[in-house]
Amino acid sequence: MDLTGKVALVTGGAGGIGAATARRLAKLGAKVVIVDLDEAGAVRTAAELNGLAIAGDVTDPETMPAAVKQIEEELGRLDVVHLNAGLGGGQKGLDDALDVARYRRLVGVNVDHVVYGTCAAVPALRRAGGGQIVITASLAGLAAMPNDPLYTLTKHAVVGYARAAGAALAKDNITVTALCPGFVDTLLLGQAKEEFDAVAFPLLTPEDIAEALQSVLTDGNPGEAWIIQPGGQAGPYKFRGVPGAAGQVPPDVQLGRV
């Protein structure tokens, strides 16, 4: 695909998955904007790509609207948005030992930022005649992770939001999709990286996610959640329809198909 003349926004683009997708978008011809709390990292990645760096905390409801405003003022338009910033849970959240501050931070980055980013981007995408929003979710958005229920909670929320937003915004020529990768070799793994290495557990690379992002931008449909696993081809998850009244099974509530 050719993104020449297009402008792409990537949150959490200072490193890891975000930096890899930013590089892929730039390679495809887009002018890339990096939004990250890590100002030095954002500047470094943006400079590499001849892009724009914006420092900011994505959990602040003012950050994404301000970023989109700056992008339109300086670059004239917005076409692709990758809402990628994310945190690991770090606690189970199953008893009175809950660290409320850490929990609120987790929800702020993994859920609130997706809502803030979408709400800020949609008017700009409409002004550009349409565009695409891709949200980094996780396999934990499709299946339970008993060792990290709070992370599972946030990623299930993100997948549900992407499915509903995809259906709602399709009429505006705005495609919303979610990426649901398995374990990716980034700093987010923390100490678990040693455990995976010890048993030769296959991990995805950030570049695998960047490749999947390109596939979603090319072939994705509104509301899809794409699974990405090592050695496999990324593709949309097939959701089942829900039972209807008197045992009738209606079309999938997401997009009118099962």
Question: Per residue in 133-168, pLDDT tens?
Answer: 999 999 999 999 998 999 999 999 999 999 999 999
Would you call 151 a catalytic residue per the annotation? yes
Indicate yes or no: pTM above 0.75: yes
Give me the catalytic one of 116, 151, 161, 237: 151
Query: Is residue 256 one of the residues assigned to a domain?
Result: no
Maximal C-alpha separation, the chain = 60
- What's the pLDDT at 229? 93
Least-confidence region, from 76-90, 187-201, 212-226, 243-257: 243-257
The half-sphere exposure of 22 on its side-chain side, counting CA atoms within 13 A, is 32
Alpha-carbon gap, residue 173 to 198, rounded angstroms = 46
DSSP E strands: which ranges in 172-224? 174-181
- For residue 83, pLDDT over 60 is answered with yes
Cβ proximity of 180 and 228 under 8 Å: yes
- What DSSP character marks residue 30? -
Domain hosting 232: range is 7-247
Query: Is residue 255 one of the residues assigned to a domain?
Result: no
Task: Supply the angle between the helices 100-107 and 149-169 in degrees, to the nearest 10.
Answer: 30
- What's the pLDDT at 258? 40
pLDDT confidence tier of residue 26, bands split at 50, 70 and 90: very high
Q: How many domains is the chain partitioned into structurally?
A: 1
Alpha-carbon gap, residue 29 to 51, rounded angstroms = 11
CATH number at residue 104: 3.40.50.720
Nearest-CA neighbor of 188 among 255, 99, 89?
89
Query: Is residue 2 one of the residues assigned to a domain?
Result: no
DSSP E strands: which ranges in 189-234? 225-228
Query: Is residue 252 one of the residues assigned to a domain?
Result: no
CB atoms within 10 A of CB 134: 25
Residue 199 vs residues 88, 193, 195, 203, 204: alpha-carbon distances, Å: 22, 10, 7, 11, 15
Residue-wise pLDDT tens digits, 37-77 = 999 999 999 999 999 999 999 999 999 999 999 999 999 99
- What's the pLDDT at 151? 94
Query: Is residue 254 one of the residues assigned to a domain?
Result: no
- What DSSP character marks residue 83? E
- For residue 213, pLDDT over 90 is answered with yes
pLDDT confidence tier of residue 249, bands split at 50, 70 and 90: low
What is the amino acid identity at position 71?
A: I
